[in-house]
Structure 1
Amino acid sequence: MPDFLITLYPWMKAFHIMSVISWMAGLFYLPRLFVYHTEQSTPGDSRDEVFQIMEYKLLRVIMNPAMVATWLFGIILVMTPGVVDWSAVWPYTKIAGIFVMTWFHHWLGLRRKEFVSGQNTRTGRQHRMMNEVPTLAMVVIVLSVVVRF
């Protein structure tokens, strides 16, 4: 099996990068939608309905599959012999960043459900501040992989 994974390595890496880009785009955009949803609509109005559709489709059609693909291709890369040096620190800081991104993804899903039920209590400013979480996680992950400290 290791020889098979080594042969597929460039493909798995390419698919991993594409899925990460898709996932990150959603992680950046959904909180921004929440800002506009909070500031430009009230529960039950026509804008509320439009925002809910946009948020639902972004989360379910783009972000969820991208997150699953990112995890799948990432696990395949980790299983490929010679890719990860487990004696270094960088794999563990990258894993921490991945867990933060995954937590944030699920946190966003819970916030969407609050909008659906008309129970959002957060302000646009609070959603703007949370929009920085994926940026911080991305910095940790990229520096971990590229600098390999």
Structure 2
Amino acid sequence: MATGVGGKNMIDYDPDLWDRVMTVNVKGTWLVTRAAVPLLREGAAIVNVASDTALWGAPRLMAYVASKGAVIAMTRSMARELGEKRIRINAIAPGLTRVEATEYVPAERHQLYENGRALSGAQQPEDVTGSVVWLLSDLSRFITGQLIRSTAVLSLTNK
């Protein structure tokens, strides 16, 4: 859940919105994985969707950032448990991607991302899907519990 969750500082953030974001992004990720595991065979793979915001701490987006940090941590924990069943689980952390859900993001933030990347320009969904397909394939059969950043080497740690 990303749309409409940003723009307020931590003091003004609505606790009900916090709960909704956590329910969708954290609890939802756990429940979907829990439901899928009995249906998966040895060698299967799962890819969770995190966000680069959890790595640099985007301001005015606290619940989203915290929820995606939780997805990263859960992925690592799940990898330990699911490894016993030879099921791999990893996470992808895209940067700001041009999709309907990010239309609310101010143009200045989009420009900061697009101009700050080593591979400049807008990130499109297809810029993320290749990594997901690879993580789901046998080409990554010995990779689990990892976070793959799909950001074109953007680092906003000082912003």
Q: What TM-score does the superposition give when structure 2 sets the normalisation length?
A: 0.34
Structure richer in helix, relative to its length: 1
TM-score in terms of structure 1 length: 0.35
Structure number with higher strand proportion? 2
